[in-house]
A and B are shown apart, each in its own frame.
Chain A
């Protein structure tokens, strides 16, 4: 008898435990749904997820407040999600998806085929917004199979930052070609015995291979999604790197590692030139009170090829969003309206994806923004292949690092990067 009692109790506790868990899920799901359902007359409440905290959060909230004040039908709320993509993955399946999502554009090729993002083409047609009002490459990055999944919020590309004082002392002008870049780098480099005191030009980021390859006249991938750098153009890039690093000795491997923000080698005058993007402008203006710097578009390759990689963010509507129409209103207001895009640009010091907003004197007449606008004219996005970033990080860059350290020959490097890269691309190609 008594055995039955205790077993029954055990079963009850088990059941309570299980129900307790599932019950919580139901509750949270329900409350989310409830918060979203605005009755008639009450404004519709939208949730906007982003992973920018601190200054970025304030910038987002400035825009959200401005939108909320501009009309009384829709109320948007910014929610900071530190681990946004992981959160979004679970939300996309369990029904807690936000209405608007801040989106790192290169992820589109991985997520769009899985039907978790809502296409915007119908809205675009209805409201008469043309795709060519935005930077073409950024639109391309937000598209999959001829459908558009978001609008670009920011565009960026790397250009050459140079320290005016160091270049003047060496008597060189900001370079416009690889040859001039090499010359300027040699003349600005200072060694003290075995110690590198001032590096002429940074070769720390092997991820910039894509950019150099474009300048040398190549492309990262072929049309059919294979690597395309084990060729003459790839060789040109690597020999140029090798010359700068090992013959001209304008840099030392590991020189900039761990030097962030206030100790950044460029801020402290230990680096004469390097490639970086508009996101560093505010840092350099803030920390570098004694730093007099200029910016020029990336120098052209041996055959005059120009190249830079465009990146940036967009806004998308998840398929699980409850108020897609209203979310579209918000995205349209922010990205496709010239005044608002400009307000965003000035608030956050980012270049907006809307071309008309860049016509403003704020950008056109500023010597810091102007070179970036020139660069954006020819900058290309990273190839829209779902395995591209894996190929770059695990196949290409490791081999480039081994090459830089003289551990494998130029031919081996390109051959290995090709075979490993092709395998990673193939393994990660299938996303359906």
Chain B
């Protein structure tokens, strides 16, 4: 008995020893910066000349900052359209690419390719494709007698264009995650369901979907976080225009911090964004849990 306890203690010690380097890095590069940022959000820090405690002034200023809330509205709109579509399309693609047919690997690769391109380079190409007069998209539309809009320049379509471009780029990697999830579902579940006369839809509804819940949770959480932190594609495609409809919180945080040197205020904005991400991830967790348990 005593020797087992000793062994456990020894193992625990070694375990701590082995995780120490990682924990030190985590502490230095994640925990300390986060705590520092929280502290900075209560100061008027400007990087170069001052760091005085200003209480909750930064947060008071946030309340009246209509542009900041507008950017939140923008990313919420983005998230509400983007996240469900992302899950739906990646799941459908995943199921399609999970069929064992000759050549399926080729199609998997092709669907994954957009993920490998750099976000900025891909966005630049999409600007050409979406050009109102000479772009491919409107060129195809004009075959059907439709006069396409100025996708990126019009308030009605600008955010929609960003959603489409980011979807195109993100479904590939989520498809891979779904394929992995699908391949982890035991075959006997389907066999017994078939024996009991379940239709293809029933098998999806009662086996595939519940079995994929952990996968869906991962995909939805990652895409919610990604959506709220939207920046590079939106910045390259529209620079926040037209009429502020595609400006995002991250854009404002960067601008306040590095262009206007109001690092304290930018930290406060960043904390509100982090809080929003936390809340939405939590809601997402509850939604995923509330369904019936697996099997």
A→B interface (CB under 8 Å): 2-3, 6, 9-10, 13-14, 17-18, 21, 85-86, 89-90, 92-93, 110-111, 114-116, 194-196, 252-255, 257-259, 386-387, 389-390, 393-394, 397-399, 401-402, 405, 407, 420, 423-424, 427-428, 431-432
Interface contact A115-B49, CB-CB below 8 Å: yes
Any chain A CB within 8 A of the CB of B30?
Answer: no
Docked Cα-Cα span, A207 to B260, in Å, equals 19
- Total of A-B residue pairs, C-beta within 8 Å: 124
Docked Cα-Cα span, A369 to B260, in Å, equals 35
B144 cross-chain contacts in A, Cβ below 8 A: none
Any chain A CB within 8 A of the CB of B99?
Answer: no
Interface contact B16-A386, CB-CB below 8 Å: no
Task: Identify which of B17, B243, B261 contacts A399 (C-beta below 8 A).
Answer: B243
Interface contact A257-B28, CB-CB below 8 Å: no
Do A398 and B127 contact each other (CB < 8 Å), given the known contacts A10-B17, A93-B48, A252-B133? no
Any chain A CB within 8 A of the CB of B181?
Answer: no
Instruction: Kindly report which residue of chain A lies nearest to residue B149, judged by CB atoms.
Output: A254
Docked Cα-Cα span, A432 to B261, in Å, equals 11
Any chain A CB within 8 A of the CB of B147?
Answer: yes
Interface contact B24-A14, CB-CB below 8 Å: yes
Interface contact A2-B9, CB-CB below 8 Å: yes
Q: For residue A125, give the distance in angstroms from its CB to the closest CB of chain B.
A: 26
Q: From residue 245 to 279 of chain B, which have CB atoms closer than 8 A to chain A?
A: 247, 255, 258-262
Docked Cα-Cα span, A401 to B153, in Å, equals 9
Task: Identify which of B28, B154, B261 contacts A254 (C-beta below 8 A).
Answer: B154
Docked Cα-Cα span, A194 to B259, in Å, equals 42
Do A252 and B150 contact each other (CB < 8 Å), given the known contacts A14-B24, A259-B131, A390-B260? yes
Interface contact B21-A13, CB-CB below 8 Å: yes
Interface contact A6-B16, CB-CB below 8 Å: yes
Instruction: Kindly report which residue of chain B lies nearest to residue A397, judged by CB atoms.
Output: B241
Interface contact A257-B260, CB-CB below 8 Å: no
Docked Cα-Cα span, A114 to B244, in Å, equals 30
Interface contact B260-A253, CB-CB below 8 Å: no
Docked Cα-Cα span, A111 to B259, in Å, equals 10
Task: Identify which of A258, A407, A431 contacts B261 (C-beta below 8 A).
Answer: A431
- Majority DSSP secondary structure for residues of B touching A: loop
Interface contact B255-A401, CB-CB below 8 Å: no
B28 cross-chain contacts in A, Cβ below 8 A: 17-18, 21
**20 further interface pairs, Cβ-Cβ under 8 Å (given A2-B9, A92-B47, A387-B260):** A6-B13, A13-B24, A14-B20, A89-B47, A89-B261, A90-B47, A111-B261, A114-B48, A116-B49, A196-B133, A253-B154, A255-B132, A258-B130, A258-B131, A390-B259, A393-B240, A401-B155, A402-B243, A405-B243, A420-B66
Do A10 and B49 contact each other (CB < 8 Å), given the known contacts A252-B150, A255-B133, A427-B61? no
Q: For residue A49, give the distance in angstroms from its CB to the closest CB of chain B.
A: 16
- Majority DSSP secondary structure for residues of A touching B: helix
Q: List 10 A-B contacts (CB under 8 A).
A: A6-B13, A14-B24, A17-B28, A89-B47, A194-B147, A255-B150, A257-B150, A257-B152, A407-B155, A428-B260
A3 cross-chain contacts in B, Cβ below 8 A: 9, 13
Do A86 and B258 contact each other (CB < 8 Å), given the known contacts A3-B13, A6-B17, A17-B28? yes
B48 cross-chain contacts in A, Cβ below 8 A: 89, 92-93, 111, 114, 116
A196 cross-chain contacts in B, Cβ below 8 A: 133
Instruction: Kindly report which residue of chain A lies nearest to residue B24, judged by CB atoms.
Output: A17
Any chain A CB within 8 A of the CB of B96?
Answer: no
Interface contact A114-B132, CB-CB below 8 Å: no
Interface contact A398-B132, CB-CB below 8 Å: no
A195 cross-chain contacts in B, Cβ below 8 A: 133, 142
Interface contact A110-B261, CB-CB below 8 Å: yes
Q: For residue B5, give the distance in angstroms from its CB to the closest CB of chain A.
A: 12
Any chain A CB within 8 A of the CB of B242?
Answer: yes
Q: From residue 122 to 170 of chain B, which have CB atoms closer than 8 A to chain A?
A: 124, 127-128, 130-134, 142, 147, 150-155
Docked Cα-Cα span, A408 to B139, in Å, equals 30
Interface contact A257-B153, CB-CB below 8 Å: yes
Instruction: Kindly report which residue of chain B lies nearest to residue A389, judged by CB atoms.
Output: B259
A115 cross-chain contacts in B, Cβ below 8 A: 49
Interface size, B (range): 35 or more
Interface contact B155-A405, CB-CB below 8 Å: yes
Any chain A CB within 8 A of the CB of B88?
Answer: no
Any chain A CB within 8 A of the CB of B294?
Answer: no
Instruction: Kindly report which residue of chain A lies nearest to residue B150, judged by CB atoms.
Output: A254
A394 cross-chain contacts in B, Cβ below 8 A: 67, 244, 247
Interface contact A401-B241, CB-CB below 8 Å: yes
Docked Cα-Cα span, A397 to B244, in Å, equals 9
Q: For residue A107, give the distance in angstroms from its CB to the closest CB of chain B.
A: 9
Interface contact B241-A254, CB-CB below 8 Å: no
Interface contact A13-B20, CB-CB below 8 Å: yes
Docked Cα-Cα span, A10 to B20, in Å, equals 7
Q: For residue B259, give the distance in angstroms from its CB to the closest CB of chain A.
A: 7
Q: From residue 33 to 57 of chain B, which have CB atoms closer than 8 A to chain A?
A: 46-50
- 3 A-B pairs with least C-beta separation: A254-B153, A254-B150, A258-B127
Q: For residue A95, give the distance in angstroms from its CB to the closest CB of chain B.
A: 12
Q: For residue B227, give the distance in angstroms from its CB to the closest CB of chain A.
A: 22
Q: For residue A196, give the distance in angstroms from its CB to the closest CB of chain B.
A: 6
Docked Cα-Cα span, A420 to B67, in Å, equals 9
Docked Cα-Cα span, A245 to B49, in Å, equals 47
A21 cross-chain contacts in B, Cβ below 8 A: 28
Q: For residue A246, give the distance in angstroms from its CB to the closest CB of chain B.
A: 14
Docked Cα-Cα span, A237 to B48, in Å, equals 40
Task: Identify which of A254, A390, A431 contacts B152 (C-beta below 8 A).
Answer: A254
A405 cross-chain contacts in B, Cβ below 8 A: 154-155, 242-243
Instruction: Kindly report which residue of chain B lies nearest to residue A403, judged by CB atoms.
Output: B243
Docked Cα-Cα span, A90 to B47, in Å, equals 7
Interface contact B261-A402, CB-CB below 8 Å: no
Interface contact A398-B260, CB-CB below 8 Å: no
B66 cross-chain contacts in A, Cβ below 8 A: 420, 423
Q: For residue A425, give the distance in angstroms from its CB to the closest CB of chain B.
A: 12
Q: From residue 206 to 264 of chain B, which have CB atoms closer than 8 A to chain A?
A: 240-244, 247, 255, 258-262
B247 cross-chain contacts in A, Cβ below 8 A: 394
Mask for B12-26, Cβ within 8 A of A = 1, else 0? 010011001100110
Pick the most buried of B142, B151, B259: most chain A CB atoms within 10 A of its CB.
Answer: B259
Pick the most buried of B21, B28, B48, B134: most chain A CB atoms within 10 A of its CB.
Answer: B48
Q: For residue B250, give the distance in angstroms from its CB to the closest CB of chain A.
A: 14
A427 cross-chain contacts in B, Cβ below 8 A: 61, 65
Task: Identify which of B9, B131, B255 contacts A257 (C-beta below 8 A).
Answer: B131
Docked Cα-Cα span, A149 to B20, in Å, equals 49
Interface contact A114-B49, CB-CB below 8 Å: yes
